[in-house]
Amino acid sequence: HFQLGQDVELAHHLLQNALIMFPGVLVPLLAKCGVQPDSRVSSHPFFTTAETSQSPSLAVLVQLYVARCYHIWKESELLPWLERNVHTVLDRVDKRDPYISDCETKRSKRYPKLPPNLHRHIILSDIKDVTCSELSESPILSFDPLPPVDSINLYNRPTRYQNPSAFYMFFRSLMPNFNPNQTGGVLEEPGEMGEEGDGEGAAVDLRRSVTSLLDAMRDLLSNIHMPDVPAEGDIDSDEERP
């Protein structure tokens, strides 16, 4: 609003509320921009003690904001505007504006601990000015730092549930390690085979059927005899005879 010149009074109001809600931003922001605050700001406890009185999680958010946005406040037009509103905020603090105590109560309740996604963001951003003591308490993997609790591990092969069928048992029987007395790792889904006793009986009947099918195929293959086909030399010699 201030830079666009649309509603300057609204811009003043929003900046003052931001300074009151987050007073710990001003001093590190000015230090990052290389600006020395005046005597009133440097001696007023509202801004000087804000860094030590805020929670550790809020301090990390302040560091993250200053590291990412300090270059915006280095513009020549914004620093005088910031200075004017800082003095207006100090006037409101000296007059004991009720909004001051309201923001102090909100700060004490809203930032008890940083969520894991912000920890992950800090690690991946790799900003040297942002430090968090909570990160040193847990092991961190370089290839996947602080993965979400509900993340899906794509490296584990999912378990496949299969029902024993005649086709499945037939193709399994072609394997050299096939044992008709075992299902061979076939997992039955609950409710598919009925009760436990019925499922076992159906599996026995299925194994018997497959065994009978295999025996019939072996008999068929053993009874197949190839006809005697004469060699090419014998055919040529017979044709040459008168």
- The whole-chain average pLDDT of the chain stands at 75
* AA identity, residue 39: S
CA distances from 195 to 35, 154, 170, 201, 203 (A): 80, 35, 25, 10, 12
* Three-class DSSP category at 187: coil
* Residue range 3-45, pLDDT digits in tens: 555 678 888 999 999 999 999 999 999 999 998 989 999 999 9
DSSP-derived secondary structure for 212-230: HHHHHHHHHHHH-----PP
Question: What distances in angstroms separate CA 158 from CA 76, 130, 153, 154, 161, one per listed residue?
Answer: 60, 40, 10, 9, 10
Query: Please, how many CA atoms are within 13 Å of residue 217, restricted to the half-sphere of its CB?
Result: 9
Which band of pLDDT confidence, cut at 50, 70 and 90, is reported for residue 130?
A: confident
pLDDT at 203: 59
More confident residue, 197 or 81: 81
pTM for this entry: 0.56
- pLDDT of 197 reads 47
Give the best-scoring range by mean pLDDT among 73-87, 202-216, 221-235: 73-87
Report residue 165's pLDDT band, with 50, 70 and 90 as the boundaries: low
